[in-house]
Amino acid sequence: MKTKKPKPKFKRFFRKQDCYFCVEKIEDIDYKDLAMLRRFLSDRGKLRPRRSSGNCARHQRLVVKNVKRARIMALLPFSVEHYR
């Protein structure tokens, strides 16, 4: 016996714009703006994936680029040791 369950349809058309940079209309990301970059890092200093940060592909790329730049400039840690 097969009963077809109606799949829930997600209305993608009306999905809220989640990307912080698109909402705030920020075009360029500054690697020195640590308070802003930290929003996209986990508590252990890891980069949060797009599904978690909610950024669009374009801005997530910029965030990753600038976080890596900030790490090289020693503004952000590569990893947080001894967190426990």
Task: Identify which of residues 56 and 64 has a Cβ nearer to Zn ion in the complex.
Answer: 56
> Token digits for 55?
């950024």
Contact 50, 60 (CB under 8 A): yes
Using only C-alpha atoms, the chain has a radius of gyration, in whole angstroms, of 18
| List 37, 59, 70, 76, residue binding Zn ion (CB under 5 A) | 59
The answer to whether residue 36 forms part of the interface with Zn ion (CB under 5 A) is no
Burial (CB < 10 A; 0-12, 13-18, 19+), residue 63, is buried
- Does the footprint of Zn ion cover residue 56 (CB under 5 A)? yes
Minimum CB–partner distance for residue 38 and Zn ion (Å): 18
Footprint of Zn ion (CB under 5 A): 19, 21-22, 56, 59
